[in-house]
Every structure is written in C-alpha cells, then in structure tokens.
Amino acid sequence: MMFEQLQVEHSLFHIDQDHIDQFKNLAAKWQMIFPQVYAKCLNTLDSWAIVLNNWVFLKSQHTDELILNPSKAIYYSINTFLLEELKKIQIIQKINHCNNDDLQYFAAFQLGNAIDLWVYKTVGKSTEADLLNSQEDKPYFLAYLDDGFQTDNTPFHRDQTRAIKILAQTIRSQNCFRITINSAVYQAVDMYEDYIAL
C-alpha cells in the first residue's frame, strides 16, 4: 500500500521512526475502513502524508516532544496556515484532548480527505484555478530536499502564497471551512463508534 512508503521526511513535525511505524500500523489496521485517500490536489503518497501530518497534529496536544519543524513551517506555509485555522475550531480542540490513537487516526483520515476536497473546490472556483494543474505529478512533502527549493522566488513558494490568499479570504468571508471540518470529525466519530460497537 502507498502509506507504507511514508518516511520521517514527509512530516512537518519533529518525529522519529517510531511515530512513522505507529502510523503505518494504524493505517494497516484500519485499511478495510479507509482503503485509499482521495488525492485531488496532490499525488497519492503526499495525500497520505497529509493524513500523517493531521494525526501527528492531533497527537501533538498531549506531548511536548511533537512540535512543528520551524524550517518546514516556513516552506510549507499553506499547511501551517491550515493547521492554525484548525486550532481555532472547537471540535478539533475536543479531538486534540482525546488521547485515543485509533479515534485520532479516524479523524486524521477524514480531515485529510475533507480538506483536500475543500481546497480543490475552493481554488478550482477561483481565478487562480491554474494552481491545480498537474499538482498530482509533483512530489510535495519532499520538495524541500531539492537544492533549488531554498530560494523564495521558486514557483513552489509563489504558488503557496497565491493559494493562501484564496483560502484565507474564503475562510474569513464564509463558514464553509468550519462546516467541512465539523462534518469530517463528526463522520469520523460516528464511524469509530459504529466500529467499536460491533
């Protein structure tokens, strides 16, 4: 499965191999319920990396060891922006304080798919829809390993800035992001409760 190819380098947080192994074990355990990510905006492996980062983000509220990598936070500004927006949503705060790896995996997966679809639709309806062109072919979370990545004027950084403007304006003027997040988390909780009730 594609999630098996995830590496420590895919994380925006300071994690180690044990965290990756724990995530892969959860992905394998729940594969029958969550067989594949949507991957609308990015390639499939990077979409799995979004689920990984969501899971680490949810876990990070319980430990001081899981912190955002400052250098990656700068380069992956769209992801940092969305994580900051997630922190403002009450239901995310509740899931953050729930110390249950399985439930947090359900939430991370549902959030990954929901946010991917929301970004795809939001950017697609904007005047910047060209941002979605051939994104699925490019490695995203490993782009920082490229030598030319560090300069501020690369298309990667310009595209991030353009996308953030669209998403921020939409979040400030509409309630659709909050609705998307609430719906994803409620769906995750319902699925989890249905499964453990069996």
pLDDT classification of 165: cutoffs 50, 70, 90: very high
Residue among 43, 41, 49 nearest 7 (CA): 49
Distance (Å, rounded) from C-alpha 84 to C-alpha 89? 10
The token pair at 174 is: 């509409």
Q: Is 134 left (phi over 0), alpha (psi -120 to 50) or beta?
A: left
Residue-range definition of the domain harbouring residue 85:
2-197
pLDDT of amino acid 150: 61
**How sure is the predictor about 1, in pLDDT bands with cuts at 50, 70 and 90?**
confident
Q: Is the dihedral of CA 4, 139, 82, 147 positive or negative?
A: positive
Question: Is the pLDDT at 103 greater than 90, yes or no?
Answer: yes
Alpha carbon distance 146, 25 (integer Å)? 29
Which phi and psi angles does 41 have, rounded to 5°? -90, -35
Whether the pTM exceeds 0.85: the reply is: yes
Mean pLDDT of 26-38: 93
> Is 77 buried (19+), middle (13-18) or exposed (0-12) by CB count in 10 A?
middle
Task: Look at the chain and report how many structural domains it folds into.
Answer: 1
Torsion sign, CA atoms 110, 71, 145, 76: positive
DSSP 68: B
With beta carbons less than 8 A apart as the criterion, state whether 78 and 42 touch.
no
pLDDT for res 148: 66
Cα–Cα distance measured from residue 27 to residue 48, given in angstroms and rounded to the nearest whole number: 10
Contact 181, 175 (CB under 8 A): no
CA dihedral 148, 53, 94, 166 (to 10 degrees): 40
Number of residues written out for the chain: 198
pLDDT > 70 fraction of the chain, expressed in percent and rounded:
92
Mean pLDDT of 169-192: 96
